[in-house]
Amino acid sequence: MAILITGGAGYIGSHMVYKLADRGEQPVVIDDFSSGFEWAIPSDVPVFVGDVGDQQRVAPLIAKYGISEIIHFAGSVVVPESVAEPLRYYRNNTANSRSLFEIAIRSGVRRFILSSTAAVYGDPPANPVTEETPVAPLSPYGSSKFMAETMLRDAARAHGLRYVILRYFNVAGADPALRTGQATRGATHLIKVAAEAAVGLREKIQVFGADYSTPDGTCIRDYIHVGDLVNAHCHALSYLRGGGESLTLNCGYGRGFSVLQVINAMRHESGNDFPVEFVARRPGDPAEIVASADRMRNLLGWRPEWDDLSLIVRHALAWERKLLSRGNARLASRVPQPVPLRPIVSKVRRDKRLARGSPTLIQDQETRRR
């Protein structure tokens, strides 16, 4: 039984691919490589280049591998960027998801797991946030994800598709075995940015707002280890395979840490007292958002393994140091740079496959890693 992983070359998607492969599952990846990396995927996993909104690419892929389950990670995820470029977010997160839902239903896919976000809640009236907390997104990112959620619910109700929607809080850390981790160019996630500062890739770290109504004036977030997050997806998959009804669940630990607490944790782990600059608030940032994860624990039987800020920071820092040791520091540079991938297939071969309207395999499995 093959599982299609959209965005499987990205940060969270690549962790999911490794986890499924470890379990003896057969993941199949489709990614447009706008932010993912070929090296982030195990060498024996089929990887295709394509846009998940392109039904002429996705349909043959589902048919070829007999896909009956999809885990959908592909999309854009930066809140400030969504404020500046809202239409791109509505295309990537909403329109492309709509196309994927349609082709999944038409192709007979039976189970679907959707990556969503706590940003759908906006600035909640109380914490911790439950799944019944009113949705009130502050950014196009949150709005675009909630629109995708709504479409999936409606389509599933009409066509019998069963799903789990997972609303992520702040995902951080890296694979404890350091097989993959976050290598986003120009990253904005706090723990990733702090790790870059700790290893010298950033001269300083900026704190956006120190006048919030929180104990130290900085924003509070619920940070979940990426390993625990992908474990939640595995529990969701088992739940659906067991006949479970469709669900929407929060993914977090149920406790938050401030920006300054995270920075101090990274300083302690790294031994580097890197500079901090306080600047104005960013649009779309709530003061505090912490998950109630009781529903996920109770319904899926999920239990975290890495619920410790120091451990999350330690794994993120170890990954950053590995990037440096590999000579991949450019992947984590504070200034976004084009990072060339090794040629995927020859131009002639690629063009022939494009002309046939089928997904383009990154390279034959035997030669992809040479």
Residues 112, 152: Cα–Cα separation, whole Å: 9
3-state secondary structure of 98: helix
The string of pLDDT tens digits covering residues 139-185 is 999 999 999 999 999 999 999 999 999 999 999 999 999 999 999 87
Note the pLDDT of residue 368. 39
Is 236 within 8 Å of 299 (Cβ atoms)? no
If you average pLDDT over residues 350-364, what whole number do you get? 41
Note the pLDDT of residue 361. 56
Residues 233, 25: Cα–Cα separation, whole Å: 13
The string of pLDDT tens digits covering residues 288-344 is 999 999 999 999 999 999 999 999 999 999 999 999 988 754 444 333 333 333 323
3-state secondary structure of 348: helix
Is the predicted pLDDT of residue 359 greater than 90, yes or no? no
Is the predicted pLDDT of residue 356 greater than 90, yes or no? no
Tokens of residue 368, six digits: 């992809």
Is the predicted pLDDT of residue 360 greater than 60, yes or no? no
Is the predicted pLDDT of residue 187 greater than 90, yes or no? no
**Overall residue count recorded for the chain in this entry:** 370
Average model confidence (pLDDT) across the chain = 89
Note the pLDDT of residue 326. 81
If you average pLDDT over residues 179-204, what whole number do you get? 93
If you average pLDDT over residues 215-243, what whole number do you get? 98
Catalytic residue positions, numbered: 141
Is the predicted pLDDT of residue 362 greater than 70, yes or no? no
Percent of the chain with pLDDT over 70: 88
If you average pLDDT over residues 220-233, what whole number do you get? 98
If you average pLDDT over residues 11-38, what whole number do you get? 96
Note the pLDDT of residue 185. 79
Note the pLDDT of residue 285. 86
Residues 58, 126: Cα–Cα separation, whole Å: 41
Across the beta sheet with 220-221, the strand order is 257-258, 220-221, 288-289
Domain 2-361 listed as CATH 3.40.50.720: yes
Phi, psi at 71, each rounded to 5°: -115, 115
Note the pLDDT of residue 328. 56
Residue spans per domain, the chain: 2-361
